[in-house]
Structure 1
């Protein structure tokens, strides 16, 4: 059985989820611009490295605060 975590959900078209599938982390980015993009990681450090390089404060409605919350949620998975 897989565990699914919603990292953020701004609306029905902009969200980030993480599924824990054993040792594999499957990150799904869903956006109104690009549709769904799926990333697979074999470790949490690999996922966090991706996230630190992927997200900027301007990617979020509330900027720096939303980025901080997103990173905290990812770290807790």
Structure 2
């Protein structure tokens, strides 16, 4: 049984989840624009590095709390 963490979900077409499969972390990003992207990481620091680059501060100008909630959710995994 894998542990699944929901990072965010706006509707059934826009969500991001993390599955913990032993030492592997599988991030599934589903969007109405791009379909499903799947990223596999072998460590939490590697996943956090991806998350910091994927959810850059400049992309969330004026929505800093939204970005911080996403980053905090990744840290809680």
TM-score in same-fold range (> 0.5): yes
Q: Give the Cα–Cα distance (whole angstroms) in 2 for the partners of residues 4 and 16 of structure 1.
A: 11
User: 1:57–1:66: 8 Å Cα contact kept in structure 2?
Assistant: no
Q: Which runs of 5+ in 2 are unaligned?
A: none
Tell me, in whole angstroms, the C-alpha distance in 1 between the residues paired with 2:2 and 2:12: 22
Root mean square deviation, CA, Å: 1.6
For structure 1, the residue ranges without an aligned partner over 5 or more in a row are none
Hey, which bits of structure 1, 4+ residues long, moved more than 6 A?
A: none
User: How far did 1:58 drift?
Assistant: 7.1
Q: Kindly state the Cα deviation for residue 33 of structure 1 after the two structures are TM-superposed.
A: 0.4
Give the structure 1 partner of residue 12 of structure 2.
12
Aligned length: 76
1:20-71 CA-to-partner distances (Å, cap 9, x unmatched) read: 00000000000000000000000000000000011135766x7211110010
In 2 relative to 1, CA 11–36 (structure 1 residues): closer, same or farther, beyond 3 Å? same
Task: Please give the TM-score of this superposition, normalised by the length of structure 1.
Answer: 0.90
Q: Confirm or deny that 1:64 pairs with 2:76.
A: no
Quote the residue 1:30 is aligned against. Answer: 30
Check conservation: 1:24, 1:42, Cα contact below 8 A.
Answer: yes
